[in-house]
Amino acid sequence: ILNVEQSPQSLHVQEGDSTNFTCSFPSSNFYALHWYRWETAKSPEALFVMTLNGDEKKKGRISATLNTKEGYSYLYIKGSQPEDSATYLCAFNNNNDMRFGAGTRLTVKP
Amino acid sequence: EADIYQTPRYLVIGTGKKITLECSQTMGHDKMYWYQQDPGMELHLIHYSYGVNSTEKGDLSSESTVSRIRTEHFPLTLESARPSHTSQYLCASSELTGELFFGEGSRLTVL
């Protein structure tokens, strides 16, 4: 059984704050780790697909790191904006199937 | 933007009705998926397909069925809907990198 856990479940921050959340996953049979952003009433969109231990990826104010040996990934948002409000999902891919965490729901207050 | 479409977006039906949730993609992806999500819970894979005439059950048991007669089309059918089927159903397709492209979801309520 693949367990993907995300924390915190929800997070409320003020505009301009920087924030981060965690995804933990099994450290064996790793193939890829995905991050998705899911805004209300829209479809989830891929942020990052990470495959190598030590990977760091960045897209604007959002970045992510990956540690496959200990089984965790961090997602960072610098200077949060109200439009960053969404649920952030991570998914663990072992090349056989993909298992999702329950997500972190981020609310950024103006 | 991803070219994957789901209909209907919202559906309220009575117990015992047969329903089909449509999913179409125009990206030529071979792999397609159906996920089910209850509020506050993770997405659970209920069906997937590696290509035409290929269908497999996912990790979450589901009373629904799927078909894949054409590459672009992956409909999900419930022969007799029950209140326990009330949920959100997300369709997705993927390219070789494994990145998923999602539809906007079908939110089903069975009374």
Question: Would you call A49 an interface residue with chain B, using a CB distance cutoff of 8 Å?
Answer: yes
For chain B, what is the mean pLDDT? 92
Region A91-97: mean pLDDT is 85
Give every CB contact of residue B66 below 8 A, 6+ residues apart in sequence: B34, B47, B49, B55, B74, B75, B76, B77
Q: Which of A4, A43, A97 sits opposite B103 (nearest CB)?
A: A43
Beta partners for B34?
B47, B91
State which amino acid sits at residue A25. F
- pLDDT tier for residue A40 given thresholds of 50, 70 and 90: confident
Distances (CA, A) of A34 to A25, A109, B56, B100: 11, 26, 22, 9
> What is the tens place of the pLDDT at every residue in A6-30?
999 999 999 999 999 999 999 888 9
The answer, yes or no, to whether residue B8 has pLDDT greater than 60, is: yes
Residues of B in contact with A94 (CB under 8 A): none
> What is the tens place of the pLDDT at every residue in B67-82?
999 999 999 999 999 9
Interface of A with B in 52-81 (CB under 8 A): none
Q: Which residue of A has its CA nearest to B90?
A: A43
Indicate the range of A50-59, A66-75, B33-42, B48-57 predicted with least confidence. Answer: B33-42
Mutate to test the interface with A, among B99, B101, B106 (most CBs of A within 10 A): B99
Region A77-88: mean pLDDT is 96
The answer, yes or no, to whether residue A1 has pLDDT greater than 60, is: no
